[in-house]
Structure 1
Amino acid sequence: MGGPPKRRAQAEKKSSGSSGDSSSASRDPTQRSTPKSIPRLDGNRDPLISGPHRVPTEYSKVTDLKNISEFLGLAGWYTARGDLYQFRNFDVDTNTWKITIPDSLPQRPAKFNSNGREISVTLNTFNVVQAPNTVVHQYDVAWGGDTDATKRVLIKKIWHSNAVKAALGEPTNLWVYDGNKLAWSGKRLDRDETRITVDLDEEQGRPQNGGRSGKGNKHTIFLKWTRQVDFNHLRAFLDGQASWSPDCIDTINFLDHVMREGPSQKYTQIKKSFFQRGEQRFDLGGGIEAFKGVFASLRPVLNEKFQKTLSVNVDVANGTFWRAQELTRAIGQVFNCGPPQFQQRFRDAKRDWKHSQLKKDLRRFKRVGVTAFHVKEKETQWTIDEFVGMDATEAMFPDPDDRRPGVPPTQLRQISVHKYFQTKYGLNCTSNLPVVKMTKKIRGGAVYLPMDWLKIDPNQRYNTKLSDVQTSAMIKFAVTLPKDRWAAVMHGVRLLNWDKDDYLSHYGLKIAPNATKVKARVLPSPSVQFGQGSRQATVDPKDLVQGRWRLDGRKFALPNNERPIKAWGVCVIQGRGAVAQPQVENFVENFVKIYESHGGQIMSHPKFGKKPWMGPGNLADGGELVAKAFNATGNRYQMRPSFMIFIVNDRNVDVYRRIKKSCDIRFGVASQVLQSKHVMGSSPQYISNVCMKVNAKLGGATCVAKSTTLPKIAPKSSSIPTMVVGADVSHPAPGAASGEAASFAAITVSADSLFARYWADVQTNGNRVEMVTTNNIDEHFGPMAKNWMQRVGKGLPPARVLYIRDGVSEGQYAAVLEEEVRDMKECFKKIGCKQEPKFTVVIAGKRHHIRFFPDQGDRNKNPLPGTLVETGCTHPFEFDFYLCSHVAIKGTARPIHYQCILNEGNWEAAELQQFIFEHSYQYIRSTTPVSLHPAVYYAHLAADRSRAHVNDTPVSSGKKEAKAEQRSSTGSSKNQVEIAPLQAISNVMGLKEVMWYV
């Protein structure tokens, strides 16, 4: 568990629980559940507990704790969501809940890694030198029925109103509010339950009722005292005298909000990042701009002095925002056209507006804040709801100047937006432009405003997926060298200005101005070996440290001896930029020569020698493009082709996926897609890189990392049959239609005892369901596990399984154990294993803000491959570490955060760290170590490639795969979305036995 000594984890932990349903105690832990919520205290009822046993606030779903999720650890989440993953019982005698945290959660090893050499590394973390010791009172916040609590701007406006400030004793008494359900104060109000009424019309000097029929603009806020924040629990936890408790979670939640309260009032806040309004903008095109801000996050850590304390992680934040400009200009930039062209698009789309592509594309403007400037002295702010299929002459609304007492708004005279603006303000509205419907209603009716007189407000986040061009520009903007990134971090620290933060000083929180400096290790590199006959079979140790070596003169460690190229073809896609026949022949000649120089096998045909079929391909043929090339190749050789090359003219992803879909699904043939510009250049280094991928797709492997360290620290390790499994679930990008799009689950399994090659299988995984479903594990992991037993294990199951999972947050760690690992163990039982393999589960995380700034690094001052950090930013008690195993080509290197959440296989810390690091050197398609363990990297590739296998044939009345089959306790999709399965890969040529996805 994530609390201190293991013996305490084994004991029942007594803590206050929710005012909830005790029937959850009988939940069968082997039964996959639908998303389940824990009743959250709302401040108005508490049927079970009262008096001295006041309950702390509970957290009903993952998003409730997003702001502090980075440091709860597995045990913290078990505590916060105890109702979901383990039994809870209510003890009537003590009037408390008993929560039992599993006793198998791995603890931080007693011994730190001593291999390699010690170096000094500065981290972008700043230790808390003084924690609050004042009394803090926590209040539940509720709103009256007339207030829409989902409108954050409205809630913020009410909270900061004069009426609320006066009632709460501001500014003498500084309150902290989370914008949702909780508020904190250093002073207790006179009454435990307080009601405050706010009239926003009166506050803002507007006429009473604000133009709204009879309702007014009055709001009621209810505050109810629930508890006193107990800092003693957090101190006891950090001192190793107590386990995680809801009190600890509440305390950290409070401290996190104290950290953010001051900056949020000065800067634009997006989650934990703050953006100063005066920062320099960087144009990304399409009406979008980027600028830098500062990220800050509080967490408990094991510091550089091996003390358990609090620390603040500060980093650069790169935000994308709508450019503040007139809406018509923004529309022109988004659609890359002038007003006449957009008007024509609108006229065409109006024929079927509901189903039009234009309506879909305009959804990206939903909830964008705009200002109407048709009245210069009285500009008003609105929020876009949608664009409607009417222009200003067609959109009608009740004329506000038609004031007849007793006549309902629906019976007033109707007037068009165009005529109203013309008669009321003397302004014209451009025809054939869609009017904009706003979220706010007036007198119960929709508000329509013309695009001409709206401008986008500044500093509004753009949260739709960037285009390829915008992404490329964003990378150029975001990527900075360590020196520049460190300067930006310190600039952020100055912006946060902790010493002058009124809230920090009011509550007694003090943060060190100097960054943490830790003793790290650079782990010893493995011996990277190539095949016999290489000019230099082993990579020079200096090249290993530098993180880059050359392939020329070296033969593949595992060539394609079992799958030599016999019948193969080269299809050249015709069109602008297509490669001429002589250039194709030159490339093929060089490819054959270089592939064979690396040990690759190409069989010589009696008639054609080693020259493939070469012919044109026409995109107008659609799916038949591949069929024609495949058949022509087969006819030439009078046998089924074993390998196909396609030369395309650009990076069009649709063309790429169409080719891959036919090759993988229809013909089951290994294929390689090349760009014409690279084929024309015919660079030997480029061809060598292509050869690595081709060799893998034909059953080979580039190199093998042989350990010189593991035999010393874990001498029995090599004799233990071990399977490595990787998994990743990729979700649709945010934006239009993502609520109906598929998520893809990819699982990889090591295919040999060297861990050089991996099988992979993919399948849809519902809509935004994070856990790999039971069905997917049964149908895809099961067959690969059986393959492993037959081909690697010699009929026996592995003694241990190392499962490396990517892409899950801390709140989902428990679900990985309770769902995915459980299902994998069931698979082994189903294939007849009498003894269950011992599972060790490691989560690999990339989405964090920890960076290393070594005193001595590479030429860019980035850390060298193998830089390991175990203190300063790691969890106080749980088994985690940060490892930088690669060399950053551009910018600042991002280490991977590995957290071990299950260790049945009893891996020693040094063994696990060295194993993961060394495998990064045998990534099959590069001559560098990679940042992430290859098992997970390959899962990424397979998940991305699976998008080419989507069954996009229109579904009629046939049976679909129901969402019920995709259930997971951590699925976040709100709708019952039906997701069709992928089309199956054809295995007629054994494509699934090789690395088809690289």
Structure 2
Amino acid sequence: MAGPAKKRAVIEKQSSGSSDGKASSGHDGATQRSSPKSIPRLDGNRDPTIGRGIAPIEYSRTNDLKNISEFLGMKGWYAARGLQLPDSLPARPAQFNNLGKECTLTLNTFNVLQAPTTKVYQYDVGWGSETDSSKRALVKKIWDSKAVKSALGEPENLWIYDGNKLAWSGIRVERDEARIRVDLDQEENEALQAAGRPLRAIRPGKENKHMVFVKLTRQVDFAHLNAFLNGQASWSADCIDTINFLDHVLREEPSRKYTQIKKSFFQRGEQRFDLGGGIEAFKGVFSSLRPVLNDKFQKTLTVNVDVANGTFWRAQDLGRSIVQVFNCNTPQFQTKFREAKKDWRHSLLRKDLGRYKRVGVTAVHVKNNPTQWTIEEFVGMDCHEAKFPDPDNPAIQVSVHDYFEKKYNLTPTSGVPVIKMTKKIRKAPVYIPLDYLRIDPNQRYNSKLSDRQTSEMIKFAVTLPKQRWEAVEHGIKLLNWNNDRYLNHYGIKVSNRPATIKARVLSSPIVQFAGSGPSSTIQPRDLLAGRWRLDGKKFIQGNTRELLSWGVCAIATPRGGLNQQQVTAFVQNFIKIYEGHGGRINPKFNKMPHIMQGNLARGGDMIADAFNQTGNKFQLRPTFLMFIVNDRNIEVYRRIKKSCDCRYGIVSQVLQSKHVERNQAQYISNVCMKVNAKLGGATCFTKSTTMPKVAPTHITIPTMVIGADVSHPAPGSGSDAAASYAAITMSIDATFTRYLAECNTNGNRVEMVTSQNIEQHLGNMAKKWIQRIGRGHPPKRVLYIRDGVSEGQYAAVLAEEVRDMKECFQKLGCKEIPKFTVVIAGKRHHIRFFPGPGAGDRNGNPLPGTLVETGCTHPFEFDWYMCSHVAIKGTARPIHYQCILNEGEWLGPEIQQFIFEHSYQYIRSTTPVSLHPAVYYAHLAADRSRAHENVSPVSSGKKEARAEPKPQSSTGSSKAKVEIQPLIPLSNAGGLMEAMWFV
């Protein structure tokens, strides 16, 4: 293994402004120990103003990490931080998996045929003290100014700029440093004069003048990258800089022609798709360069091209947009505003209007001279109440209404909030009435979509493989590599032919139900089709908690609900079908539950009524409650779950009345799987015919599977103070069918599971495993599957989470710590498989078990892509798995087959699933845990369980401390924590 990566600080002179490379952290020890610290999220925060002393790029500094391209692998990120590569990092196995059958796939990757043939120099870009370099639009405007272009010799010399600190060119500037003065006011007035528009007045002392420093730091080293790809050199900062340069060259020309959002490009004038609420969607093209083991088994570079689906604000009058967003007319909006003004700071209207923050608008109140602004916020004042110093007499405050009436002969609408802009004039805020603002085109919508918008977006985004491939080909035409002047200038060539590879379709396991004969297993053709029915099948393990004291609550609303006869008919059918699947219901009370009506207006008391009435009827603590609701109201759902989980410790099932009314057998069978799992049962086991051949000792090694996921609040107003949720799951039987799950808050946008959560929740579950499965002994090995972390966080998973897990086993008194194997499961990528004719399913998607190890994988590290499911709609998205630690010495084919086979025993499905169930359950648990928030309920429910507030701290790399309350703990009065309450 290679030694420490060569740090840039050794090669180049550091300025006094260099940082020490330590990640910021504000944890107080309750949530995460201070050392080592998590690498902060790459959240787009810019470097502080550098001034005259330009600090060269040093990737070990936190602020410089955002300059790194993705897909460098774990070694690349270690090298970037100047850390020594760990000996434990698994390499790609010497031989590929040869199990199953071979198949041919086309990938949406396009190989780089030729790297630059000319000299390329890298420069660091700095700014004078008068420039706020955190303002991306200002920086871009300065870089694109005539003064900068002229000084750098454009357009003859084509420069590449990353928008932050790095620039590249094929020329070497004189004296290796350029100092360029830019007067944006002068250039703007020259442009206005040429257009015949009024000139902009420039006040003394307020000139828009800037100084740009462009300093040579190094020559891009293509030879070192080639040596790395050939296995002759280790990762270094040189390699990273080179890949970074190539990635930016590929993006430069498209970014000038199309609207760019990160690595996606959207063509202006594309057909829009209306999502409702003033939001629209349209398709673009995603493009990203990465080092791979290509289709010819060569270590090289390739470009991943895919469809990008973007959501944008509709370009229209701001007033019309607000009417669409709030689905109301102007008088109704005025009423909303009048009510909200009573407590504007805490009002729901103010929060909802927060989605317009940072939206660019054009003011059109001055004809023939529109001006562009950026919205800071809607204020709790209308045009009569909002005032500012009168420009003609600054000692007097003038209202927005009076100013617009006097200055422009315009009468703004009263009773609606005025908009405060980000820019100030004479140090005073700028207020503009919404009547005269228009939303600028091609602006991304960053807030969470509503349920209706999400449904429409899915309809727009989901396309079958044939249509998706046509869209990829359209994207290739848009990128137009052959005629890209930047690629041609630097001598880069990219193939227009996609990579075609030999993949494997792994053998499906035997899916075993109870009993014997044909009905006890799934037919091979159904396994390959990825879908089967439960008709005539008994669950491999019936409910260990026999149903005796159970109740059904049909919730009535003013709009109506189901009658007693409909509910009784459904319950009778449920009993018949559940028993047919092997469910156990005590006949003491004729097997029937207590059926009652619930009143939603009673809030938490409604659940208390259901619990108490059921217990009174059977003179026994209820085991299970079923609730029938009239719609998919998330607040009602969470109210039910909060009471049942945290107050009564009872498993529950929520059903929609429309399904109950239809009373269809297939729907009831699906419900039975969930109910059976919650009551201690299991749907099916998988029996492998492959594992005994691949790893004969596999079954004899005591193994624990752990899954973890951290979910973050949706972007938008309020998300900077909202909780993240960490969920940890653990297998609790020898067949890895049933899992325990525990959850809690995890600070605000903290990606690593905190030490406190691991110690408390993993420790609690590990005790049960040792007692039940290990018979007093810990497992010999642990397979930890972690979801949702980026490459830059892989090292932190090992340094923090795995470290804490091992310490957890130590605290439990384990003399021998289990051997950990850690696999990262990633969904957020753009790799897609396109099978050849006859090699896929009926929709053209890959078959379950399709395994890809070349064409898009890392040149040296142990990763693979696997499609274990069948996509019902659209194009299947494979899961990217990367093994970052393998103390358990799993063989490559062993771990790949293990993960694939377990996708068939997901406890609530009659299909294989895309992710390993341990991670899937962590998703479910993290989402369910939102119902356990320690907040007051929306309606009554004065008896709701509430925990004593024990704040968890959370920090990000650039924000103040946020206090996050822990969740209300589950009540284990009825053994809920032993049940799969989350399915």
TM interval, shorter chain, is over 0.9
Change (3 A) 1:529 1:627: same
Q: Is the 8 A contact 1:960 1:978 kept in 2?
A: no
CA distance in 2, matches of 1:382, 1:534: 72
1:246-275 deviation digits (Å, cap 9, x = unpaired): 111111111111111111111000000000
Amino acid at match of 2:600: L
Structure 2 residue corresponding to 1:993, chosen from 973, 978, 983 = 978
Q: Shift in Å at residue 788 of structure 1? A: 0.7
Give the distance between the partners of 2:314 and 2:75, measured in 1 at CA.
Answer: 43
Report the counterpart of residue 273 of structure 1 in structure 2: 264
* 1:924 correspondence with 2:907: yes
* Letter of the structure 2 residue corresponding to residue 204 of structure 1: E
Does residue 946 of structure 2 align to residue 961 of structure 1? no
Q: Say whether residues 1:589 and 2:535 are aligned partners.
A: no
The alpha-carbon deviation at position 36 of structure 1 amounts to 7.1
One-letter amino acid of the counterpart of residue 961, structure 1: K
Equivalent AA in structure 2 for residue 752 of structure 1: D
Q: 1:509 to 1:235 in 2, by over 3 A?
A: same
Q: 1:324, 1:21 → 2: CA distance?
A: 43
Contact 1:962–1:978, Cα closer than 8 Å, also in 2 = yes
Q: What pairs up with 1:245-260 in 2 under 5 angstroms? A: 245-260=236-251
The alignment yields a C-alpha RMSD, in angstroms, of: 2.3
Question: Is 1:59–1:65's contact at 8 Å kept on the other side of the alignment?
Answer: no
- Corresponding position: 1:107 with 2:110: no
Q: Secondary structure at the match of 2:428?
A: coil
Distance 1:376 1:463 in 2: 31
Residue number among 155, 163, 177 corresponding to 1:179 in the alignment: 163
Return the offset for 1:986. Answer: 1.0
Shift of 1:176: 0.6
Preserved CA contact (<8 Å) 2:727 2:741: yes
| Secondary structure at the counterpart of residue 625 of structure 2 | strand
Contact map agreement 2:125 2:166 (CA 8 A) in 1: yes
Matched, 1:129 2:118: no
Deviation at 1:671, TM superposition (A): 0.7
Q: Which residue of 1 aligns with 2:372?
A: 381
**CA distance in 1 between partners of 2:947 and 2:515 (Å):** 55
Residue 35 (structure 2) aligned to one of 29, 32, 35? 32
Instruction: Quote how far apart the aligned CAs of 1:154 are.
Output: 1.6
Which is worse superposed, 195-204 or 897-906? 195-204
Q: CA deviation digits over 1:123-157, x for unaligned, max 9? A: 00000000113211111111122222122222111
Q: 1:450 to 1:24 in 2, by over 3 A?
A: closer
User: Structure 1, residues 210-243: CA drift from partner, whole Å, max 9, x if none?
Assistant: 4445221212111111111111111111010011
Asked if 1:16 corresponds to 2:16, the answer is no
Tell me which of 282, 288, 302 is aligned to 2:293: 302
Q: Is the 8 A contact 1:534 1:555 kept in 2?
A: no
Q: Report the Cα distance in structure 1 between the residues aligned to 2:924 and 2:64, rounded to whole angstroms.
A: 28
The reply to whether residue 674 of structure 1 matches residue 670 of structure 2 is no
1:418-455 Cα deviation digits (max 9, x unpaired): 22222322222111121111111122221111111110
1:911 aligns with 2:894: yes
3-state DSSP class of the match of 1:284?
strand
Conserved 8 A contact 2:743-2:929: yes
CA contact (8 A) 2:38 2:796 kept: no
Could you tell me whether the CA contact under 8 Å between 1:40 and 1:58 is conserved in 2?
A: no
Alignment partner, residue 803 of structure 2 = 822
Partner of 1:51: none
Distance 2:634 2:336 in 1: 25
Contact 1:325 1:457 in 2 (8 A): yes
Secondary structure of the structure 1 residue equivalent to 2:251: helix
Assess if the C-alpha contact under 8 Å between 1:62 and 1:811 holds in 2. no
**Alpha-carbon distance in 1 for matches of 2:212, 2:270:** 36
CA distance in 2: counterparts of 1:13 and 1:58, whole angstroms: 11
Q: Any conservation in 1 of the 2:57–2:64 contact (CA below 8 Å)? A: no
Deviation at 1:116, TM superposition (A): 0.5
Q: Amino acid of the residue matched to residue 926 of structure 1?
A: S
Q: How far apart, in 2, do the equivalents of 1:354 and 1:661 lie?
A: 28
Q: 1:769 to 1:21 in 2, by over 3 A?
A: closer
Partner residue, 2:184: 200
Alpha-carbon displacement from aligned partner over 1:55-107 (angstroms, at most 9, x marks no partner) = 753253388337612x111111111123xxxxxxxxxxxxxxxx521111000
Deviation digits for residues 619-674 of structure 1 (CA, Å, limit 9, x no counterpart): 11111111111100000000101111100111001101110111111111111110
Residue of 612, 615, 618 corresponding to 1:631: 612
Amino acid at match of 2:603: G
User: Does 1:341 pair with 2:347?
Assistant: no
What do the CA deviations read for 1:548-597 (whole angstroms, capped 9, x no partner)? 1110100001111x211111100110112411110101000000000000
Q: Does 1:73 align with 2:57?
A: no
For 1:721-870, list aligned pairs within 5 A. 721-855=702-836, 856-870=839-853
Uncovered stretches (5+) of structure 2, i.e. residues with no partner: 193-197, 938-943
The residue aligned with 2:195 is none
Which runs of structure 2 are paired with 1:302-321 in the superposition (5 Å)? 302-321=293-312
Deviation at 1:45, TM superposition (A): 4.6
Would you say the 8 A contact 1:742–1:765 is kept in 2? yes
Aligned to 1:555: 538
Aligned to 1:3: none
2: CA distance, partners of 1:898 / 1:34: 25
- Other-structure match for 1:529: 512
Per-residue deviation, 1:395: 2.1
CA distance change for structure 1 residues 43 and 383 in 2, over 3 Å: closer, same or farther? closer
Q: Name the SS for the 1:158 alignment partner.
A: helix
Contact 2:5 2:79 survives alignment (8 Å): no
SS at match of 1:261: helix
Output one character per residue of 1:309-347: Cα deviation in whole Å (capped at 9) or x when no partner. Answer: 000000000000000000000000011100011111112
Residue type matched to 1:17 in 2? A
**TM-score scaled by length of structure 2:** 0.94
- Asked if the contact 1:193/1:225 (under 8 Å) is kept, the reply is yes
For the residues of structure 1 that align with 2:319 and 2:824, how far apart are their CA atoms? 46
| Whole-angstrom CA distance in 2 between matches of 1:13 and 1:339 | 62
Moved more, 928-937 or 983-992: 983-992
CA distance in 2: counterparts of 1:834 and 1:947, whole angstroms = 37
Of 434, 452, 458, the match for 2:435 = 452
Instruction: Mark the CA change 1:660 to 1:21 in structure 2 (over 3 Å): closer, same or farther.
Output: closer
Deviations 1:355-375 (A, max 9, x none): 222111111101100011122
> Is the 8 Å Cα contact of residues 281 and 309 (structure 2) preserved in structure 1?
yes
In the superposition, relative to structure 1, how do residues 706 and 763 fare at CA in structure 2: closer, same or farther (>3 Å)?
Answer: same
Mark the CA change 1:710 to 1:307 in structure 2 (over 3 Å): closer, same or farther. Answer: same
* TM-superposed deviation, 1:31: 5.8
- Aligned to 2:834, the other structure's residue is in SS state strand
Q: Deviations over 1:485-511 (max 9, x none)?
A: 000001001001111111111111110
Distance in 2 (CA, whole Å) between partners of 1:200 and 1:657 is 54
Aligned residue number for residue 604 of structure 1: 587
Partner of 1:880: 863
In the superposition, relative to structure 1, how do residues 622 and 63 fare at CA in structure 2: closer, same or farther (>3 Å)? farther
Alignment partner of 1:565 out of 532, 544, 547: 547
1:959 is displaced (CA, Å) by 7.5
The one-letter amino acid of 1:745's match is A
The yes-or-no answer on 1:419 pairing with 2:398 is no
Fraction of identical pairs, as percent: 67
Pick closer, same or farther for the CA change 1:535–1:668 going to 2, 3 Å.
Answer: farther
Residues 647 and 971, structure 2, Cα contact 8 Å, conserved in 1 = yes
How far is the alpha carbon of 1:198 from its aligned partner? 1.2
Indicate whether 1:228 and 2:210 are aligned: no
- 1:787-829 CA-to-partner distances (Å, cap 9, x unmatched) read 1111111211111100000000000000000000011111111
Given that 1:395 and 1:435 are in contact with CA atoms closer than 8 Å, whether structure 2 keeps it comes out as yes
**In the aligned structure 2, how far is the partner of 1:66 from the partner of 1:12?**
21
Q: Distance in 2 between matches of 1:826 and 1:675?
A: 45
Give the partner amino acid of 1:256.
Answer: D
Q: CA deviation at 1:898?
A: 0.1
Q: Could you tell me which residue of structure 2 aligns to residue 499 of structure 1?
A: 482
Cα pair 1:727 1:805 within 8 Å, conserved: yes
Query: How far apart are the structure 2 equivalents of 1:913 and 1:257?
Result: 35
SS for the counterpart of 2:546 is coil
Name the CA distance, whole Å, in 1 between partners of 2:784 and 2:81.
Answer: 24
